[in-house]
């Protein structure tokens, strides 16, 4: 469904051009969770943000990102890519507080996302919003619908962000370290939700440095290091038979609990 081919990203800082991603290729198919794995600074988030053209203005991007019948998302205008964002391809960010508008209620933000892509009434949009809040396990949906982000816990904020991302039933969900700031039990429930979305046919690209998360939910794994893809394999091969020395050392670095 989504295919990234020979993606290159650099950033122009003053008179210097700094390479962040070099010749990166990966794909996400319907009904699978693909994990893009690597240490901080390896280029995972930059690669992910490139898909929806969310990089800053000083970025220099080349390559091909094909999706559905679109030859290259990178060549779309701002108006054209807005029709894709939050509709066909959605994104969940690491820090929901940076994404949610503090001046709008939870319900207003979900409804706004629906109305941006669907020609329906506000009442119909509210009904869809409440059903989506139930899907992502937000309790007391009607009460939360009328609350502001600052009234919610970190876990609930992230579920609201996920509700906004999936409310239009996208084909692809991009999730950039969505459980990093959450406690273990809340993170586990969000990962369970991703598995359920996958089972309904959604393709998910999950950015993470947590190998425990990879082992729990991944179908396939791409390992990144210094802006490049080092290896690609299914999750069983990745853990049982890593192909590169870096992958072997990464797996050896995992803590062992006794």
Q: Where are the domains of the chain?
A: 2-252
- Residue 149 above 60 pLDDT? yes
Average pLDDT of the residues in 76-97? 92
Nearest to residue 129, comparing CAs of 148, 156, 107? 107
Confidence of residue 256 (pLDDT cuts 50, 70, 90): low
The overall average pLDDT reported for the chain is: 93
**pTM exceeds cut of 0.85:** yes
Mean pLDDT of 103-123: 96
Number of Cβ atoms within 10 Å of the Cβ of 113: 24
Residues 24-48, mean pLDDT to the nearest whole number: 94
In this prediction, residue 147 carries a pLDDT of: 97
- In this model, does residue 257 exceed pLDDT 80? no
**φ, ψ for residue 235, nearest 5 deg:** -65, -35
How far, in Å, CA of 239 to CA of 25, rounded? Answer: 21
pLDDT (mean) for 87-113: 93
pLDDT for 236 beyond 80: yes
Average pLDDT over residues 43-65: 95
* pLDDT score, position 258: 45
Predicted pLDDT of residue 255: 66
- Superfamily holding 2-252: P-loop containing nucleotide triphosphate hydrolases (3.40.50.300)
Residue ranges of alpha helices (H) inside 86-207 are 106-115, 122-135, 141-145, 154-166, 184-199
| Phi, psi torsion values for 156, nearest 5 degrees | -70, -35
Q: Where are the beta strands (DSSP E) in 2-87?
A: 2-13, 16-28, 33-37, 59-67
Does the pLDDT at position 253 exceed 90? no
Between 28 and 252, the more confident residue is 28
pLDDT category of residue 118 using cuts at 50, 70 and 90? very high
Residue 51 pLDDT exceeds 80: yes
Q: For 9-27, what is the mean pLDDT?
A: 94
């Amino acid at each position: 469904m989504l295919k990234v081919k020979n993606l290159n990203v650099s950033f122009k800082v003053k008179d210097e051009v700094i390479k962040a991603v070099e010749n990166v290729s990966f794909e996400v198919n319907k009904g699978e969770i693909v994990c893009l794995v690597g240490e901080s600074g390896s280029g995972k988030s930059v690669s992910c943000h490139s898909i929806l053209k969310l990089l800053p203005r000083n970025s220099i991007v080349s390559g091909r990102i094909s999706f559905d019948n679109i030859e290259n998302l990178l060549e779309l205008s701002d108006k054209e890519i807005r029709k894709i964002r939050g509709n066909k391809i959605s994104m969940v960010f690491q820090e929901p507080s940076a994404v949610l508008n503090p001046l709008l209620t939870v319900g207003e933000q979900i409804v706004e996302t629906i109305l941006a892509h669907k020609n329906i009434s506000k009442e119909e949009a509210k009904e869809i919003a409440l059903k989506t809040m139930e899907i992502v396990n937000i309790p007391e949906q009607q009460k939360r619908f009328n609350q502001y982000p600052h009234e919610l816990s970190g876990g609930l904020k992230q579920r609201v962000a996920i509700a906004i991302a999936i409310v239009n039933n996208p084909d692809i969900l991009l999730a950039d370290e969505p459980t990093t700031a959450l406690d273990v039990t809340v993170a586990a429930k969000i990962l369970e939700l991703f598995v359920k979305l996958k089972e309904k046919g959604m393709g998910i690209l999950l950015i993470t440095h947590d190998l425990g998360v990879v082992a729990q939910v991944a179908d396939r794994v791409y390992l990144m290091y210094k802006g490049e893809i080092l290896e690609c394999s299914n999750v069983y091969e990745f853990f049982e038979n890593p192909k590169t020395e870096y992958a072997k050392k990464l797996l050896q670095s995992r803590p062992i609990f006794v």
